[in-house]
Amino acid sequence: MVRIPVDGQGVVDLDFIRREIDKKPLLVSVMHANNEIGVVQPVAEIGRLCREREVVFHTDAVQTVGHLPVSVRELNADLLSCSAHKLYGPKGIGFLYVRRGIRLSPLIHGGDQERRRRAGTENLPAIVGLGKALEIAGREMEAEGVRLTGYRDRLIDGLLKKVPDCRLNGDRDRRLPNNVNISFAYVEGESVLLNLDFEGIAVSTGSACTSSSLEASAVLLAIGVPAELAHGSIRITMGKWTTEAELDRILEALPRVVAKLRAMSPLYPGGKNG
């Protein structure tokens, strides 16, 4: 397996992909958008390169389906995966798009379900829920994208202005409408998370998949964030029920929490022990 490097903004290296594709790999797989820093990748171009060289291309579109326009034709995808819970559907259900002509080995043998790719009784209520969630998302996506992009940009601008020694992680514009990932020097992200939780504000220090790990985020390290700064990172995501008042609240609470933690830190130059 070969890992594709990214630049300092979290965008994959297309020149590297071009060189590796010439070696005829079995599969190229790239996330449509990163789940931690929200960066949207040039998936259509990657898919085009793969199609030209007859290399199978998969994209993980879990973060984008229902939030950004997604077309398997435009993305040149042979395989595309989606999960319902990311667009307010039931947990435990998703789909894998498989382009006609792509042959897959069965995941579970035994029955004829899912065209003999995965045996077992289908979860019909969840399948219906996924279909309904996609239908609703299709109606609301454009207006919701505009609203959340405005919230996202206001949050980014406000935090960068109010909190010194912080940085936005990932490309400023080429990102999901609802994602803000930001690092604060001289504090621990876990401490920020706990203090915000006391205020009734829920954030995370990484993806849900790595919530039990205390290691610095591999995603942040890959884009060149120093380990000590990566440990001071939090991810804020917004959704269809996020309000302007909640945005005001976090813009008031987060700078205050960071200032309090820095005042207790022996590492902070402006602190009591500095």
Q: Which CATH class is domain 14-134?
A: alpha beta
Q: Do domains 14-134 and 140-263 have the same CATH topology?
A: no
Q: Which secondary structure element, helix H or strand E, spans residue 182, and what is its range?
A: strand 179-184
Alpha carbon distance 260, 254 (integer Å): 10
Looking at residue 214, its pLDDT comes to: 67
Name the pTM for this structure: 0.91
Alpha carbon distance 105, 102 (integer Å): 10
DSSP state of 234: E
- Which is the catalytic residue, given 50, 82, 166, 209? 209
CB 99 within 8 A of CB 56: no
Residue ranges of the domains in the chain? Answer: 14-134, 140-263
Look up tokens 């919701």; give the residue.
144
> Residue 152 is encoded by which pair of tokens?
């996202």
Looking at residue 215, its pLDDT comes to: 81
Alpha carbon distance 247, 50 (integer Å): 42
Mean pLDDT per 10-residue interval, the chain, length 274 residues: 96 96 95 97 97 97 97 97 97 96 89 85 95 97 97 98 97 96 96 96 74 77 95 96 97 98 88 48
Q: Is 82 considered catalytic here?
A: no
- In the chain the first and final C-alpha atoms are separated, in Å, by 46
CATH superfamily name and code, 140-263: Aspartate Aminotransferase, domain 1 (3.90.1150.10)
